[in-house]
Structure 1
Amino acid sequence: METTPKTTGSFESFDGTSIYYEVRGEGEPLVLVYGIACIINHWHHQVEYFTKKYKVITFDLRGHQKSAPVRDMNELTMDSLAKDVIGLMNHLGIDKAHFAGHSFGAPVILKVYDQKPQLFLSMTFINGFARNPIKGMFGLDVIEPFFFFVKSQYLAQPTLWNTLWKLAVENPMSVYVAALAGGFNLRVSHFKDIEIYARGVARLNLDVFIRLFEALMEYNGEPVLEKINVPALIISGEKDMVTPIRFQYHFKEKIKHSEFVLVPYGSHCTQLDFPDYTNLKMEKFLREVSRDGKL
């Protein structure tokens, strides 16, 4: 596969946390924001495709991969994540950009828009959500109680639970469990991509995950949706059980200038399942935005 040259770097965010980033290509900036406990590799199909026409910017969320450690653990909040993105744009000297967010990356984008809407040319949401998606996840109401149980146990024995976290994620069966839960479509996703993801999750500090997961549950981006006045593309995986279609339909209902795309057989990681289809839909959308400035 062709490899596009990249520029890497880091900058010191508002609280002293170092945020790692990668820049490839030239043209209008396209910022890709991955989900909680994910890695830049989740975007590798899009990175390779869009660097032919755009300046593609990827980065690690605070506490993730090369943006660790976090200087102040109390700053693992939605507000802090948004400040990191705004700081990255300032660091790179970018006034406006297209933004795309997958899963938890969607509320991060919403929070950035709420703080600094003038940064946006457009936004793309892939299997995203604007408010707590935990209730009813996988068709059950057990995830939230289980999370608080794990949190209480972690606070009592953090070393033990960090070890258990790594063992569970690194177990080969975890890939199949994630797929069965709607996280991946094993029939079309490359197994190597899922393995790379699992290794990345295993490196994530459990305290970081717990704090950000709680921030995710508490965040409500509903008021932001109706304020959005830039074009938006909503991509939804038909077989996503993590953030089911209703979350994406809700985006379409609330965002005025929006377009909805349903990907048949797409899982929660639609951009990995069906990268060609996802890229073509994104390219068409971005081309129309660049030409007309609106849908």
Structure 2
Amino acid sequence: MSVRRHLGDPPSVIIGHSMGTQVALETWRLFPERVRGLVLMCGSFGKVTQSFRGMPIIDLILPKVMDIVDKQPDLVRALWSRIPPEVALKAALLARDVDPNHVRREDMLPYLRHMTHVDFPMFLRMLRAAGEHSAEKYLPQIDVPVLIVAGEKDTFTPASLSEHMAELIPNAELLMVPGGTHVAPIEQPDLVGSRIKAFIDRVSGPSTP
């Protein structure tokens, strides 16, 4: 925000990944004059706790998990922060939640390491809020350019949600990443990065070298 203020608070292209998709949509809804475009990656317009593997699994177990966490928050924080990123990566590969044909260990480990630094009780509260929120009714009103990036095999927010979002938002573009999962931008950075750059250049004008 300090950079925005220094530049005179110009309208910006807002980029959101996963639950950040809902944050980006809310930013447009609350501050439309500040948004020049939206890039929505591997996310949904709402109720994300109902979409894991196409079922409301998280929606069903989240209240029970939160009850346990609320009773022992410090213990849960300590255990969460000690999960080795290498173990998390192996589990994700076994569950096919990431694409083994494209993901690189050196790219995924920093992402997973960052996740272990997130305050887990706070993350659960954010997840609950995202599960209760929906921006679906506002999608037809969006009047800025939108690029939607979806992973073909995303188990957290299935590609069908991105396709539905693209149908509801006027003139939205959809990039379907072949074989991509919830971390498609990490799995295929050249494809995703080049498409985002082209979108931003078109919406905002070419960046100055």
TM over 0.5, yes or no?
yes
In structure 1, C-alpha distance between the alignment counterparts of 2:116 and 2:187, rounded to whole Å = 22
Amino acid at match of 1:95: P
In structure 2, C-alpha distance between the alignment counterparts of 1:234 and 1:252, rounded to whole Å = 7
In structure 2, C-alpha distance between the alignment counterparts of 1:182 and 1:216, rounded to whole Å = 24
- What SS is found at the alignment partner of 2:50? coil
TM-score by length of 1: 0.64
- The equivalent of 2:14 in structure 1 is 99
Instruction: Give 1:290 deviation, angstroms.
Output: 4.0
In structure 2, C-alpha distance between the alignment counterparts of 1:107 and 1:162, rounded to whole Å = 25
Q: Which runs of 5+ in 1 are unaligned?
A: 1-84
Is 1:123–1:230's contact at 8 Å kept on the other side of the alignment? yes
Instruction: Give 1:255 deviation, angstroms.
Output: 0.5
Tell me, yes or no, if structure 1 residue 229 matches structure 2 residue 121: no
Amino acid at match of 2:201: R
Is 1:134–1:144's contact at 8 Å kept on the other side of the alignment? yes
Is 1:100–1:125's contact at 8 Å kept on the other side of the alignment? yes
Is 1:182–1:242's contact at 8 Å kept on the other side of the alignment? no
C-alpha spacing 1:217/1:239, structure 2 compared with 1 (3 Å): same
2:34 pairs, out of 115, 119, 128, with: 119
In structure 2, C-alpha distance between the alignment counterparts of 1:91 and 1:210, rounded to whole Å = 34
Is 2:46–2:136's contact at 8 Å kept on the other side of the alignment? yes
Please provide the CA RMSD for this pair.
2.1
Tell me, yes or no, if structure 1 residue 203 matches structure 2 residue 117: yes
Aligned length in residues = 205
C-alpha spacing 1:271/1:227, structure 2 compared with 1 (3 Å): same
C-alpha spacing 1:136/1:118, structure 2 compared with 1 (3 Å): closer
Amino acid at match of 1:102: H
- What SS is found at the alignment partner of 2:36? strand
In structure 1, C-alpha distance between the alignment counterparts of 2:7 and 2:66, rounded to whole Å = 37
TM-score by length of 2: 0.88
Query: More strand per residue: 1 or 2?
Result: 1
Is 2:13–2:37's contact at 8 Å kept on the other side of the alignment? yes
Is 1:122–1:232's contact at 8 Å kept on the other side of the alignment? yes
C-alpha spacing 1:90/1:219, structure 2 compared with 1 (3 Å): farther
Instruction: Give 1:113 deviation, angstroms.
Output: 0.6
1:160 pairs, out of 67, 70, 75, with: 75
Cα distance per residue 1:172-229 (max 9 Å; x no partner): 3221222344542232222122211222111121221122111111111112212210
- What SS is found at the alignment partner of 1:172? helix
- The equivalent of 1:253 in structure 2 is 167
Amino acid at match of 2:69: Y
In structure 1, C-alpha distance between the alignment counterparts of 2:19 and 2:39, rounded to whole Å = 13
Instruction: Give 1:171 deviation, angstroms.
Output: 5.8
- What SS is found at the alignment partner of 2:103? coil
In structure 2, C-alpha distance between the alignment counterparts of 1:143 and 1:131, rounded to whole Å = 14
- What SS is found at the alignment partner of 1:230? coil
C-alpha spacing 1:151/1:88, structure 2 compared with 1 (3 Å): farther
Cα distance per residue 1:35-84 (max 9 Å; x no partner): xxxxxxxxxxxxxxxxxxxxxxxxxxxxxxxxxxxxxxxxxxxxxxxxxx
- The equivalent of 1:284 in structure 2 is 198
In structure 2, C-alpha distance between the alignment counterparts of 1:88 and 1:107, rounded to whole Å = 23
Instruction: Give 1:145 deviation, angstroms.
Output: 2.4
In structure 2, C-alpha distance between the alignment counterparts of 1:131 and 1:196, rounded to whole Å = 27
C-alpha spacing 1:88/1:116, structure 2 compared with 1 (3 Å): farther
Instruction: Give 1:123 deviation, angstroms.
Output: 1.0
Instruction: Give 1:109 deviation, angstroms.
Output: 0.5
In structure 2, C-alpha distance between the alignment counterparts of 1:180 and 1:88, rounded to whole Å = 41
Pairs within 5 Å for 1:163-202: 163-167=78-82, 169-170=83-84, 172-202=86-116
- What SS is found at the alignment partner of 1:148? helix
Query: More helix per residue: 1 or 2?
Result: 2
Cα distance per residue 1:131-190 (max 9 Å; x no partner): 1122241244332222211110111122222223223x3263221222344542232222
